[in-house]
Amino acid sequence: MENIVINASKRELKGKKVDKLRREGYLPAVLYGAHLEPMSILLNYREYAKILGTTSSSSLVTVVVDGVEHTALVREKQRDTLKGIYLHIDFLAVSLTETIKTRVTIELVGESSAVKDYDGILITGLNEIEVEALPQDLPEKIVVDLSVLKRIGDTVTVKQLPVSDKVTVHTPGDEIVVHVTHAAGAEVEAEGTTEEPEVIEKGKKEEDED
């Protein structure tokens, strides 16, 4: 992703008074870090809402406040789920010479022949992992190509993820990211866990009944 520059101004209003700023088209935010006193700031909502939608917790941006540049990560985005709008953004100022721990999203792409040809079902175990790296070496996301899952029972674990040697993975390597099972196998797994596994895709859909 290209370098994202976000221009902001210092914010004096806090608490419930911030709603007034939102109505005026501003997005409240905070910029903080180990070597920076927490700073309340304001962004132009219309200018940056779409841009922020393309970022993740490992996205590196440049936040400019009163002419001073701060390299930061988009640490948290608070959203009104009903209205679909951002309410507040947390930026974590970082040093390019110090490693940082964060979570990186896993994106599944492509098609598994075990699903397409053998009526398999994809079961996901993880959708993100914890990593550590210099800010400039953090991946935006980790892409898993499902075409490597060719047979029922095939699995992708954390240690098989395509991660740069500049990145240290802290999630255990034997944890399952995604694997293929029969429909009956998925039912058994569901009985053995408190959380219902996420079924991503099923091959050879059954014909509609009359």
207 in a structural domain: no
> Are the C-beta atoms of residues 10 and 66 closer than 8 Å to each other?
yes
The CATH number assigned to the domain holding 65 equals 2.40.240.10
The length of the chain in residues reads 210
Same domain, 61 and 115: no
The verdict on 67 and 117 lying in the same domain is no
Asked if residue 51 and residue 106 are part of one domain, the reply reads: no
Task: Pick the last residue of a domain from 93, 110, 127.
Answer: 93
Q: What predicted TM-score, i.e. pTM, was given to this entire model?
A: 0.74
pLDDT digits (tens, 9 = 90+) for 23-75: 999 999 999 997 889 999 999 999 999 999 989 888 899 999 989 999 999 99
104/74 same-domain check: no
User: What is the span of the domain harbouring residue 176?
Assistant: 100-202
Same domain, 105 and 183: yes
**Do 117 and 195 belong together in one domain?**
yes
Domain contains 104: yes
Average pLDDT, the chain: 86
Q: Is residue 21 part of a domain?
A: yes
Do 32 and 109 reside in the same domain of the chain?
Answer: no
Longest dimension (CA), the chain: 68
Q: Which of 53, 76, 93 is the last residue of a domain?
A: 93
Q: Percent of the chain at pLDDT above 70?
A: 86
**Claim to verify: residue 71 and residue 161 sit in the same structural domain:** no
Once rounded to an integer, what is the mean pLDDT over residues 131-153? Answer: 94
DSSP code for 46:
H
Report the alpha-carbon distance of residue 154 to residue 182 in Å, rounded.
Answer: 11
In sign, the C-alpha dihedral spanning 37, 38, 40, 43 is positive
The number of beta carbons lying within 10 Å of the beta carbon of residue 56 is 18
For residue 159, what is the domain's CATH number?
A: 2.170.120.20
Confidence of residue 12 (pLDDT cuts 50, 70, 90): confident
With respect to residue 56, please indicate whether it lies within any of the assigned structural domains: yes
Instruction: Report d(CA 10, CA 138) in Å as an integer.
Output: 28
Asked if residue 83 and residue 105 are part of one domain, the reply reads no
Question: 46 or 185: which carries more pLDDT confidence?
Answer: 46
* Residue 209 resides in a domain: no
DSSP string across 110-175: S--HHHHHH--EEEE--SEEEEEE-GGG--S-EEEEGGG--STT-EEEGGGS---TT-EE-S-TTS
- The verdict on 10 and 69 lying in the same domain is yes
How many domains would you assign to the chain?
Answer: 2
Q: Of 93, 118, 139, at which residue does a domain stop?
A: 93
Same domain, 196 and 134: yes
Same domain, 108 and 178: yes
Does the residue 210 lie in any domain?
Answer: no
Side-chain-facing half-sphere of 30: CA atoms under 13 Å: 16
Q: pLDDT-based confidence at 197, cuts 50/70/90?
A: low
- Cβ(207)–Cβ(200) below 8 Å: no
pLDDT score recorded for residue 159: 96
Position 138 in a domain: yes
